[in-house]
Amino acid sequence: MRARQFPSPGRVALFGPGGLGREVLQLLRDLTAAGQECTPLAFLVDPDSPAPAALHGLNVHRDAVAFLRADPGVSVVVTLGDPVARARVVARLEAALGPRFATLIHPGAWLGDSVEIGAGSVVMAGTTATTEVQLGRHVLLNPGCHLAHDTVLADFATLAPAVALAGGVEVGAGASLGIGARVLPRLRIGAGARVGAGAVVVRDVAPGETVAGVPARVLGKGAAFGQAGINQENAAMPTQFSNPPGMHTPGSRYSHAALVQGERRLVISGQIGVRPDGSVVEDGPGQIAQALANLGTILAAHGMGPANIVKLGVFLTDRELIPAWRVHREALLGTLAPTSTLLLVAGLADPRFVFEVEAEAVA
């Protein structure tokens, strides 16, 4: 039995009907058998996917956003083993729908009381995490992994079956560790790094490096995780956010500076609370939500998501709307902290509007 209980996932759709998706479907059915409220509803795929119309008793839907919009009570898990592919789908869904991700822990996993788990993560059977372990968003732990005390896995980190991390190990965003890999205490696996099956890691692995062997040796270096389009960790990003020495600590969730090194720059005009049909949202919080949804639509149309945002400019006509803005910002960005400016203004060009947001994004 695991160390503690987690909330039941409820009704869940799985994006990706491949091998991992079918394994996660079995995880959901095991949760149901263990007495949790858990109902797998459907597989979701891209419109051009060759997947069949149904698989393992579930229908396969080719418009994921439409399926999820039709029922706001349904959460989703992105069941793609490749962390870059997983992150791109997450960014696309978040841009269209906001955070709607279930966290799944198999009843046969053992997690200590102090283990923290981010949204969208999947923990398979036989995995153990002892104490003071932190898992980011959309982390994947395959069967039989062991995480010792004080290990930290950043967003989209991926561990194949039977990976063992000794105490104090840090695994960067989007890093992948192959079957049976071992990492010695207090080492760091950089963002986007790849560790071969059976490797024994005895030194830090730089972002984007591929290592293999016993002891693990560098085989090459490719694009780090952020350079593949998902900005999660400064050491690997085409855009590096910073709060330089000599500057005061930001008073909210933003960064003082962004060093942009990407190849594609998207500048987005100010977005307001106008629905796709041209109607105006009347209330302030609703305008904030709709403006951010419009922002997400534009990002998705250019193959980007919230993680690609490097600068936000926010205009409010009412100070009382600041808490609502922060709630919606948190829903859009999570722990991401791009550069940002918030201004209280006497009014916008059209007096019906109380909120406007502009943005710049880089991929």
Q: Which two tokens stand for residue 192?
A: 């986007």
State pLDDT tens for residues 173-232.
899 999 999 999 999 999 889 999 999 999 999 988 899 999 999 988 765 555 344 443
d(CA 127, CA 104): 12
d(CA 61, CA 55): 11
d(CA 81, CA 153): 16
Query: CATH classification of 1-225 is 2.160.10.10, yes or no?
Result: yes
Instruction: Specify the length of the chain in residues.
Output: 363
SS3 of residue 62 by DSSP: coil
d(CA 203, CA 164): 15
Instruction: Tell me which residue has tokens 């986007």.
Output: 192
Whether the Cβ atoms of residue 239 and residue 262 lie closer than 8 Å to each other: yes
Name 218's bridge partners: 211
- The pLDDT of residue 76: 97
Give ranges for CATH 2.160.10.10 in the chain: 1-225
- The pLDDT of residue 49: 81
Whole-prediction pTM: 0.65
- The pLDDT of residue 226: 52
Whether the bond between 245 and the residue before it is cis, its omega within 30 degrees of 0, is no
Nearest Cα neighbor of 271 from 156, 353, 351 is 353
Nearest Cα neighbor of 332 from 93, 44, 89, 46 is 93
CATH topology of domain 238-362: 60s Ribosomal Protein L30; Chain: A; (3.30.1330)
- The pLDDT of residue 257: 60
Task: Centre a 10 Å sphere on the Cβ of residue 182 and count the other Cβ atoms it contains.
Answer: 20
Q: Which two tokens stand for residue 242?
A: 């910073």
Nearest Cα neighbor of 92 from 186, 230, 188 is 230
Give ranges for CATH 3.30.1330.40 in the chain: 238-362
Residues of the chain with pLDDT under 70: 1-5, 222-248, 250-263
Instruction: Tell me which residue has tokens 């967003």.
Output: 155
Whether the Cβ atoms of residue 339 and residue 241 lie closer than 8 Å to each other: yes
Whether the Cβ atoms of residue 227 and residue 211 lie closer than 8 Å to each other: no
Nearest Cα neighbor of 173 from 134, 116, 142 is 134
- The pLDDT of residue 334: 78
d(CA 40, CA 27): 10
Instruction: Tell me which residue has tokens 């991929």.
Output: 363
Whole-angstrom CA distances from 10 to 13, 106, 164, 254 are 10, 14, 31, 33
Q: Name 77's Cβ contacts closer than 8 Å, sequence gap at least 6.
A: 12, 13, 14, 15, 24, 101, 102, 104, 120, 122
Q: Which two tokens stand for residue 136?
A: 């980011």
- The pLDDT of residue 250: 61
Q: What is the DSSP string of 181-213?
A: -EE-TT-EE-TT-EE-TT-EE-S-B-TTEEEET
Q: Name 38's Cβ contacts closer than 8 Å, sequence gap at least 6.
A: 8, 9, 10, 12, 28, 31, 32
d(CA 213, CA 197): 8
